[in-house]
Amino acid sequence: MSTKLISKVNFWLKTVQYRLLPGTCINCNKISGRDYDLCTSCERLLPRIEDPCESCGLPLPANNYDGYLCGSCIIRPPPYKRIVSAFNYAKPIDQLIRVFKYQGKLAYGKVLSHQLLLLVSSIYEKTALPELLIPMPLHTSRLQQRGFNQSLEISRYLSGHLNIPQNFNLCYRNRNTPQQEGLNARARKKNLRGAFAFKQNLKRMPKSIAIIDDVVTTTASSRELALLFLDHGVKEIHIWSLARACRKL
């Protein structure tokens, strides 16, 4: 079957599927009006991060003199190059991610991952993408309890659409740390110290990687994992997440 014919058949199948099973918005639960489970009205209302710092991903102050980096990142550069987050971790994104994460609604994760894909594609339009995607590891006990790793699902979606390989066996969480939610920044950092380790060694470490996570809050997990990869020869760390907590925890 020719490529042109396959393309026509796929288009026809998608059209039939849309007619018979139109998309349902994950936010308002109404028919989305397109073959995508997010209606245009809700998509416009989702909380974005305006003018984020190109390093930490938090909103830049109105009087920021640099224009690209916040004062904190200039004074004390973090171990990662940049954080790219599709949304501010506020309503209704926080609720949608919780449903995806704790109720196993993978369709929610797919919709939110697509929003992250659009942002990443825009930001890296004229710059090189990372060479490898690393999903944030879950401890085996938590993986068994939850049934899936939400970061792996996000990474799998991005990997397929950006044509970047992913590796979820390269590192692991070597102890079952308490839940980060509800802890302040200092407690989170202490909680994560030494929590990650390498499971296997690559013959050639990539120059750059992107750590994939659902939510970046105080960056404790991301920093700890970034430092591990820097120690193993990776030169540049990017962090991509569905959401970034923009309030002080």
| Contact (CB, 8 A) for 135 and 196 | no
**DSSP letter (8 states) at residue 16:** H
**How far apart are alpha carbons 9 and 3 in whole angstroms?**
10
Q: Look over the chain and give the mean of its residue pLDDT values, rounded to a whole number.
A: 87
**How far apart are alpha carbons 120 and 141 in whole angstroms?**
32
Domain ranges of the chain: 1-45, 49-244
DSSP string, 96-148: HHHHHHHS--HHHHHHHHHHHHHHHHHHTTTSPPPSEEEEPP--HHHHHHHSS
Domain 49-244: assigned CATH number: 3.40.50
Give the pair of three-digit tokens for residue 81: 């190059």
Q: What is the pLDDT of residues 61-97, one digit of tens each?
A: 888 777 799 999 999 999 999 999 999 999 999 999 9
On the question of pLDDT at 58 being above 60, the answer is: yes
**What confidence score (pLDDT) does residue 33 get?**
87
Kindly report which listed range (15-19, 83-87, 239-243) carries the lowest average pLDDT score: 15-19
In b/e form, how buried is each residue of 224-245, taking b as 16+ CB within 10 angstroms? bbbebbeeeebebbbbbbbbbb
Question: Quick one: pLDDT band at residue 118, thresholds 50, 70, 90?
Answer: very high
**What confidence score (pLDDT) does residue 5 get?**
61
Phi, psi of 123 (to 5 degrees): -65, -40
Q: What is the pLDDT of residues 157-189, one digit of tens each?
A: 999 999 999 999 999 998 766 555 555 556 555
On the question of pLDDT at 19 being above 70, the answer is: no
